[in-house]
Amino acid sequence: MKINIRVNGKMISDDVACDMLLLDFLRYHGFYSVKRGCETSNCGLCTVWLDNKPILSCSMLCAKCDGHEITTLEGLKKDAEAFAYFMANEGAEQCGFCSPGLIMNVLAMEKELQHPTEEMIKNYLAGNLCRCTGYMGQLRAITKYLNRHQGGKNEADQ
């Protein structure tokens, strides 16, 4: 079937199988930030935005995205860099396997929640798993990143 999906602002028209997953469609078209983890909606590695809301691309048919807009990490480089500064400052960098999905959800949370509490952050990111490090450094970095505009200058701009 023919579909048209706008990815990071660029229209992609393709003829796809009815059962093709969005994850496979995106990787086929070179969006390698989108990672394949559990494939069972449990790890968050494959997170992208559908019309600016985070979804799991391993559980979404690309046919259902026909006529819609997808955003991947490749389309959010500037914001991702600003967030990476906070992660590095807390020594909380993660591997290239799990970090794209985490970053997509942190940036989505920033748009969706106003001044989230630690509990709200934990709930929002409950679906993003890391199999090797702890979560506390990341939580500190995320909290600082989300509160960076409170009380003056953006730390990343200094």
Contact residues: ligand FES, CB under 6 A: 36-39, 41-46, 56, 58, 94-95, 97-98, 130-133
Integer Cα distance of 56 and 119 in angstroms: 22
Closest CB 114 distance from ligand FES, rounded Å: 27
Cβ nearer to ligand FES, comparing 1 with 95: 95
Integer Cα distance of 66 and 5 in angstroms: 5
Nearest to 5 by CA among 74, 51, 54: 51
Cβ nearer to ligand FES, comparing 39 with 155: 39
Closest CB 26 distance from ligand FES, rounded Å: 12
Integer Cα distance of 9 and 40 in angstroms: 28
Closest CB 126 distance from ligand FES, rounded Å: 12
How does DSSP classify residue 5? E
Cβ nearer to ligand FES, comparing 45 with 107: 45
Integer Cα distance of 40 and 58 in angstroms: 7
Cβ nearer to ligand FES, comparing 135 with 155: 135
Closest CB 130 distance from ligand FES, rounded Å: 3
Contact (Cβ atoms closer than 8 angstroms) between residue 35 and residue 46: yes
